[in-house]
Amino acid sequence: MSLQNILVIIFVLLCNFLLLVFWLNNHKVAHFASILRIYLPYILPCFFLFFWFFIFFIYKFPVTGDVVNFFIPQGRLAFQGMIPNKDFPSSYMPLYPYVLGFIDLFWTNDLSIGLFFTLSLCLLSVVLFNIIKNNNKFLFIMIVGLCNSVILLLGVGYQQDEIFVLLLIFLSLFSLTKKKYFLTGFLIGASVLLSKITLIIFWIPFFLLSSKKKNYLFGLMVSFIPVMIFFLIAGFSPMKMLGQESLAIVPPSLITLSRFLPFIYNLLNSYPYLIYVGNMLVLGIISIFVITNKREIGYDLYYQFGMLAVFWLIFVLLSFKALTSYRILVIVFIPFIVEVFRSKSPTLPILFVIYSSLVSVHVMFFEDWAKITRKYIDLASIPAANLHQFIILSAIEVSIVLLEILWVYLSLRIIFPSKSLLNSQNENSSLEGLPSIIVNQL
């Protein structure tokens, strides 16, 4: 285990512990939160930039294979006039390679893509702060989500594009707080074009339950349809894109554990697109159930943010990439569930800190765990020297999955709240400090 991993784990666990102590101490929270509101928009971006500088210039951490093998070459090919998924393979929507090409054109260096994602993280922290800045305790929970090794190591160190996806998501939500409904729809369409098709999962709830469907849809059509038609005419192949996305099973989560059930694993390994088909089927059933059982409640937020969370969590649980980059999105989004239920279940912040800490530790050992699961087909074939490590890491993974199932359950309670929950939430607003437009106009 590298020195970098040890330092990041120590920092994350210490950060989680201190924030939890402050969160539980009501007297200190108000004073400390007032300081955070002043300095947090400057502290977090500076910290993320320092972390990027430290690991690449001082620690000399190598640039990852995705940047060298995929991001930079795809960006250069796009700027040479080639069409994604016609002239070269890509698992991304058509505009993403052009973003990479522009970055490479601006600074021709292997570090440029990582710097772009780090700057995206800096801007994300500022946007997120402006959405929830008036809610004292939410500030603490959100810091736990942002200052996590999943964000720091995968997002900054390994240059995962989900950081950019998160920025697009919260820019759309921020425009919603300003009552810019057309702009929100426009950003939704642009965010899908600039990332992966799976991002559309985040926006299904807006079109299922929102009272502003026409505004969102018009904005989305203006940004999405003309660009998509252009690339389809130019030869962009959506099926090739989906084929690249489901090219192979990457060990993590439930799919890795299915390796010890040979029939299921062989089926998924032979037909990996079945993972996406199953995902869409489950989410489709939930969508139909939501539409046919829609009820009037006091806050649209329960439906909207609850569905955002539950759709993505179910996708992650059934996905073949759950323990890698997709948890970047999960760990930043779960605090919204924590905040909604804070007055009902005071232990939720503690559960989130535990979840954050488990994910932080597990992601540090993920490569070792993945090598074991790739190399050995069944439990009996794992050497004794690796067996204890595999058992410990698998136990942590199962704990993480169980906690994610808990978040799904809580999200479903948000979507279909009981009468007693509605009454308690109307009497005691755990939404205090969130922009009223999110509460009333989603």
Q: What is the pLDDT of residues 149-172, one digit of tens each?
A: 778 877 887 787 888 888 888 888
245 contacts 347 by C-beta, under 8 angstroms: no
Output the CA angle 159-402-342, nearest 5 degrees: 85
Q: What percent of the chain has pLDDT over 90?
A: 8
Q: Supply the pTM of this predicted model.
A: 0.81
Exposure class string for 394-407: b at 16+ Cβ within 10 A, else e = bebbeebbebbeeb
Q: What angle do CA 183, 280, 88 make, to 5 degrees?
A: 75
Residue 414 CA to residue 348 CA, distance in Å, equals: 14
Question: Tell me: the pLDDT tens digits for 336-350?
Answer: 777 767 666 667 777
Question: In terms of C-beta density within 10 A (0-12 exposed, 13-18 middle, 19 or more buried), how is residue 111 classed?
Answer: middle
- Stretch among 39-43, 50-54, 282-286 having the lowest mean pLDDT: 282-286
Q: How confident is the model at residue 97 (pLDDT cuts 50, 70, 90)?
A: very high
Comparison of pLDDT for 165 and 278, the residue scoring more: 165
- Which residues touch 345 (CB under 8 Å, ≥6 apart)? none
Per the DSSP assignment, residues forming a β-bridge with 88 are 84
- How many C-beta neighbours within 10 Å does residue 266 have? 12
User: What are residue 92's phi and psi, to 5 degrees?
Assistant: -110, 160
